[in-house]
Amino acid sequence: MQNKNLIIIGVVVVVIVATVIAYTNNQGVNLPQENGENNSTSTVDEAMNNASGSMSGEESMEKKMVTYTLATIASHNSGTDCWSVVNGNVYDLTQWISKHPGGEEAILKLCGKDGSELFNNQHGGQEKQQETLAGFHIGVLSQ
């Protein structure tokens, strides 16, 4: 009876430790992989980051080292699902479309494309705009 209790306690401890480690490493549930790309971002992190846009660029870059192909970015090309590449980084701009001070059309031009030239021509070197963009960072463009 005592051995049985020790085994149960051991199993419970292992499950708790594994759960803590998994939560710490992933901070949520991993999304399924798409087309062999590394899409291991959590739904909680992604929802919080994309909804608020408040994560700093440094935090975002540390948390999101996911890679996407240009083909994947191209599939997110609408006002309800808008991803863009700017200077090799991938951003989900969907939540920013209606908030952009220059109007929705300026962001809609970037959806599903490499928007580096457009962004840099309009906002290159402007710290506030760079910080705002960094809040929507979801990954990097694969080489």
23-65 residue pLDDT tens:
544 443 333 334 434 443 333 334 334 444 444 455 444 554 7
What mean pLDDT value characterizes the chain?
Answer: 74
Grade residue 22 by pLDDT with cuts at 50, 70 and 90: low
What is the secondary structure of the chain as a DSSP string?
-HHHHHHHHHHHHHHHHHHHHHHHHHSSPBPPP-TT-----BHHHHHHHHHH--S-HHHHHHH---EE-HHHHHT-EETTEEEEEETTEEEE-GGGGGG-TT-HHHHHTTTTEE-HHHHHHHHTT-HHHHHHHHTTEEEEE--
CATH topology of domain 31-141: Flavocytochrome B2; Chain A, domain 1 (3.10.120)
Q: Would you say residue 113 has pLDDT above 70?
A: yes
Q: Would you say residue 141 has pLDDT above 50?
A: yes
